[in-house]
Amino acid sequence: MAKLVAVCTSERKGMRKKNVGEGILVPNFGLEGDAHGGDWHRQVSLLALESIQKMQKLGLDVVPGDFAENLTTEGIDLVTLPIGTKLRIGATGLGEVTQIGKECHTKCAIYYQAGDCVMPKEGIFIRVLEGGPVAVGDAIEVMA
C-alpha cells in the first residue's frame, strides 16, 4: 500500500518545507497554510521518499520537505502517472495530476550541494478536486 510519510508546508515560496505531520487539502487551493496554494495548476507537490533516498545515498543530509514538496509518498511510482491521473489521498482528498517535473529557473541549495536535484525530474504536481484532512500514514491510491 502506498502511503504518506510527510505532510509539509512553508510560509514563503522558495524555501524548504517543514514536516507538520498533518494538514487540510482545500479544493481549488492546495494545502491549507502553504505558500504555494492558490488557484493554479501546481497547488500541491508530491515527491517519493525513494527519490529522497537517492539523494541521501549521494551523501546529502536531506529529509522530507527539503525539496519543497508538500506530500512525501512511499510505495508509488509518481513519475509514471500520466497527467490527468486521479489520486485518492487520505479518506476524502482527491487530486488530479497536472504536471510531471518542473523547470528550475534558479539552482537551489540542494543542487549546489549534490550537483543535482530530484524535484525537477521526479516531483509531480496536482490540483485539489476534493478536500479533507491528510496525515502521515494515510493511504494514497491511484484511482481507475
User: 17-74 pLDDT, tens per residue?
Assistant: 999 999 999 999 999 999 999 999 999 999 999 999 988 998 888 899 988 899 999 9
Q: How far apart are CA 75 and CA 21, in angstroms?
A: 18
Q: In this predicted model, which residue has the larger pLDDT, 111 or 123?
A: 123
Cell 488530479, residue located: 96
In DSSP terms, 88 is beta-bridged to: 94, 141
Quote the pLDDT of residue 66.
86
Quote the pLDDT of residue 129.
98
CA angle, 1 as apex, 126 and 130 as ends, to 5°? 30
CA atoms within 13 A on the CB side of 28: 1
Q: Which domains does the chain have, with CATH numbers?
A: 3-142 (2.40.33.20)
Q: What's this model's pTM, rounded to 2 decimal places?
A: 0.90
Sheet holding 71-74, edge to edge: 18-19, 3-9, 71-74, 44-48, 124-130, 93-100, 86-89, 140-142
Asked if 59 and 109 touch (Cβ cutoff 8 Å), the reply is: no
Q: How far apart are CA 27 and CA 24, in angstroms?
A: 10
**Structure confidence by residue, pLDDT tens digits, 82-112:** 999 999 999 999 999 999 986 655 655 555 5
